[in-house]
């Protein structure tokens, strides 16, 4: 089921639970949390360039080459050169706080070309790389939060928050999912216990309404 939730999440809690026939709301809305809960989330814009890695125009690259972003150096300095699938190479790594525009290309946004030429200095075989088409560049917004990840149960509600993973959403996803599952069990269990005390229910387990539509 897909639906965009609008308004204040806590104020609309009962309505949303009824609409989705759920016991618990799991808020995984990334940057959307600003609107739903007033969360201090902001984008860390990034861009990826795709190149062919089939060993024809340059030697096939089989290992990842990564260097973490170094704040003390200034400017864009991270390195992220990663083989993907059978024949693709991902060159990525802009980190641009507060930037929302994702309509960037190699031609209309010089920092992407600069990133590419920085990588060509780092790994000279990339000067012969044939860039992929469709897409050549993908731009994404990492959903950061000023004070880091929020993963908690909002007291007095049946809402579990899981937002603000910034640049590490994939890395953290297993642990966060496990903790969300635990909290859903606790919050949903309380609800079900309350229902059983008050009136009959045939719900054996907590059913979450998960506010999120896709994985990146």
Which CB, 145 or 191, lies closer to ligand FAD? 145
Cα 26 vs. chain centroid, distance in angstroms? 15
Least Å from the CB of residue 94 to ligand FAD: 8
CA 135 → CA 67, 148, 159, distances in Å?
Answer: 24, 31, 38
Which CB, 111 or 189, lies closer to ligand FAD? 111
Residue 216 sits in the site that holds ligand FAD (CB under 6 A): yes
Give the footprint of ligand FAD on residues 29-48 (CB under 6 A): 29-32, 36, 46
Residue 114 sits in the site that holds ligand FAD (CB under 6 A): no
Which CB, 58 or 209, lies closer to ligand FAD? 209
Q: Give the whole-angstrom CA distance, residue 79 versus residue 215.
A: 24
Q: How many chain residues bind ligand FAD (CB under 6 A)?
A: 26
Q: Give the whole-angstrom CA distance, residue 166 versus residue 46.
A: 11
Query: 3-state DSSP: the chain helix, strand, coil percent, rounded to 5?
Result: 30, 25, 45
Least Å from the CB of residue 24 to ligand FAD: 16
- Sole binder of ligand FAD in the list 4, 110, 156, 200 (CB under 6 A): 4
CB under 6 A: which stretch of 81-89, 151-159, 169-177, 192-200 binds ligand FAD? Answer: 169-177
Residue 9 sits in the site that holds ligand FAD (CB under 6 A): no
Least Å from the CB of residue 5 to ligand FAD: 4
Least Å from the CB of residue 56 to ligand FAD: 27
Least Å from the CB of residue 201 to ligand FAD: 27
User: Rg of the chain's alpha carbons, rounded to an integer?
Assistant: 22
Which of helix, strand or coil describes residue 170?
A: helix
In 106-215, which residue ranges form alpha helices assigned H by DSSP? Answer: 110-122, 169-198
Contacts of 164 (CB under 8 A, 6+ apart): 33, 39, 41, 143, 144, 145, 147, 148, 149, 150
Q: Is the peptide bond before 74 cis (omega within 30 degrees of 0)?
A: no
Which CB, 58 or 180, lies closer to ligand FAD? 180
Q: Which residues form the interface with ligand FAD (CB under 6 A)?
A: 4-5, 28-32, 36, 46, 140-143, 163, 165-171, 211-214, 216
């Amino acid at each position: 089921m897909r639906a965009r939730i609008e308004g204040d999440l806590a104020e609309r809690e009962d309505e949303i639970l009824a609409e989705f026939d759920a016991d618990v709301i799991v808020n995984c809305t990334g940057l959307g949390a600003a609107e739903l809960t007033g969360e201090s989330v902001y984008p860390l814009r990034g861009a990826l360039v795709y190149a062919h890695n089939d060993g024809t125009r340059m030697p096939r690259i089989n290992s990842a080459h990564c260097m973490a972003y170094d704040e003390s150096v200034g400017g864009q300095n991270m390195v992220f050169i990663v083989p993907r699938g059978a024949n693709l190479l991902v060159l990525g790594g802009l980190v641009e706080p507060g930037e929302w525009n994702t309509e960037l290309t190699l031609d209309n946004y010089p920092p992407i070309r600069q990133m590419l030429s920085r990588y060509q200095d780092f790994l000279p075989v990339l000067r012969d790389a044939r860039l992929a088409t469709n897409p050549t560049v993908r731009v994404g917004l990492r959903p950061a939060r000023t004070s880091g990840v929020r993963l908690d149960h909002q007291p007095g509600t049946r809402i579990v928050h899981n937002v603000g993973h910034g640049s590490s959403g994939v890395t953290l996803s297993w642990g966060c999912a496990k903790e969300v599952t635990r909290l859903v069990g606790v919050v949903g269990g309380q609800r079900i216990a309350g229902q059983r005390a008050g009136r009959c229910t045939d719900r054996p387990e907590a059913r979450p309404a998960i506010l999120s539509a896709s994985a990146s």
